[in-house]
Amino acid sequence: MKSNRRDFLRLGMGAIASGVLPASFSWSAPNVQRVQVAVVGGGLAGLTTARNLVNNGIDSVVVLESRDRVGGRTLNLPLPGGHVVEGGGEWIGPGQDRIASLAADVGVDTFDAYYDGAGIYEIQGLVSKGLLPELSFKKGYDFTRLAWRLQSMADQLPLGSPWQAANAHYLDHITLADWLKGEGASKWTVEAFRIICRAIMSGYPERISLLWFLHYIQSSGGLLGIALNDNGLQDLRFVGGSQQVSINVAKALGHRVKMGEPVTSISDNATGPVEVRTPKGTYLADQVVVAMAPADTLRINFKTGLTAQRNALVKQWAGLTRLPLIKHSVIYKTPFWREAGLNGNVVTDHAPLQLVFDNSPPDASLGVLTAFLSAAEVPAMASEPDRARLLPQELSRYFGPQSMATMGYVEKDWSTDPWSIGCITPLTKGLLTSAGPALRAPVGRIHWAGTECAEVGCGYMDGAVRSGDRAAIEVLSALTS
């Protein structure tokens, strides 16, 4: 009897390895599971991939998420009264149809972000209020002519594959700052683009590849959309917070989503199923989708090796210099700034802050000002207690002494997140042309998803969803070929 059991186990494991047993076969041993598709990462990209596969009849799917939550770089932080504010990705705008459609499908509504009233601008020491910053005709003309030139250059790139442009090598080996200097940009224009880069890329023009900047604005629908709030890419917010989209998708996927299971190794030896290991067990899959930021995949041991180009992409991406981004929300009893005709939006080149937004709940039952900052630029705010003490003081420069009467705060410091190497990527010179194609090209039966590899919406939640759409199509094709 013992011999028969051993023989059965040996034969059974051989059958799994060769793919003879059906994908739905379940072992009594809980640490080995046979699936058709393993998706690594439970953010929007990974969950979209899994959802699309299930909706197309591939029921045997598992989503392996390192954290004890889904959502990736979207995160709801609790506020009093049962409200939330986002600690990561938050807004959507015109053209971001895929994230909007997914949210609607899973029952998450949107509401207008608050932009009624005047914004506050502080650039080169001049503080002004209004729809736009106060500037002379000469400054406005200089910024407009160079913004138009950049947009024209971006429009000429092959969508989603900027490395294929005829002049890609040149564009990728100078920085945005180099280009602005060569075009004779005024100091005000340089400072304006510095604000834009800090806000949307968490980096400086002196470190950002011109090709990456052009790709980023082309992919997102244009420089105007990035820069605008109302009717731009910061136009709408999600009821219940942006993470609710992932939460609802995960609920529909049910048991297929495994949290607290960081993938430690992936082995595609081409003779049997792909082996995906976590501290809790092993998954044997026909196809694998790694839905993570490129730098974050560095912690996975790809035992059968990646292409040299993919290895170069990951290692260079992980070594990038970026501003450690903190999203800090200060809570008030009411959005008092609205009574003064202000919309809560601050754009500044003053070091402690990058941007400030009114992130109050839709019913305005609380007031919330959310500030983006980098502790690397302001050592005095390096610790959380110091930020809690000093940020209201900084906000009082713009909104008056009422800013000091806080009810508390919540924040997300992405530089200390154990599972994400930063939240936004400021890609440096040379990387796109040397390794860009590896962003999406499958390696054997391993496919890639994540907002950084999106052809459209790169860097945004919409891009994450679109990358999941593409990965699911690739996997469906591979499974049926």
| Cβ-based burial of 78 (10 A; exposed 0-12, middle 13-18, buried ≥19) | exposed
The domains found in the chain, sorted by start residue, are: 23-72+242-321+429-480 (3.50.50.60), 76-116+233-241+322-416 (3.90.660.10), 138-227 (1.10.405.10)
- CA-to-CA separations, 459 to 151, 155, 170, 217, 474, in angstroms, rounded: 18, 18, 23, 10, 21
267 DSSP β-pair partners: 275
SS3 424: coil
User: How far apart, in whole angstroms, are the C-alpha atoms of residue 52 and residue 225?
Assistant: 29
Residue the block writes with tokens 């880069």 = 197
What letter represents residue 171's amino acid?
A: L
| Cβ-based burial of 94 (10 A; exposed 0-12, middle 13-18, buried ≥19) | middle
Per-residue pLDDT of the chain (481 residues; tens, 9 = 90+): 333 333 333 334 333 333 333 343 333 335 999 999 999 999 999 999 999 999 999 999 999 999 999 999 999 999 999 999 999 999 999 999 999 999 999 999 999 999 999 999 999 889 999 988 888 999 999 999 999 999 999 999 999 999 999 999 999 999 999 999 999 999 999 999 998 888 888 888 999 999 999 999 999 988 888 877 878 889 999 999 999 999 999 999 999 999 999 999 999 988 899 999 999 999 999 999 999 999 999 999 999 889 999 999 998 888 877 677 899 999 999 999 999 999 999 999 887 888 999 999 999 999 999 999 888 788 899 899 999 999 999 999 999 999 999 999 999 998 888 898 776 777 889 999 999 999 999 999 999 999 999 999 999 999 999 999 999 999 999 999 8
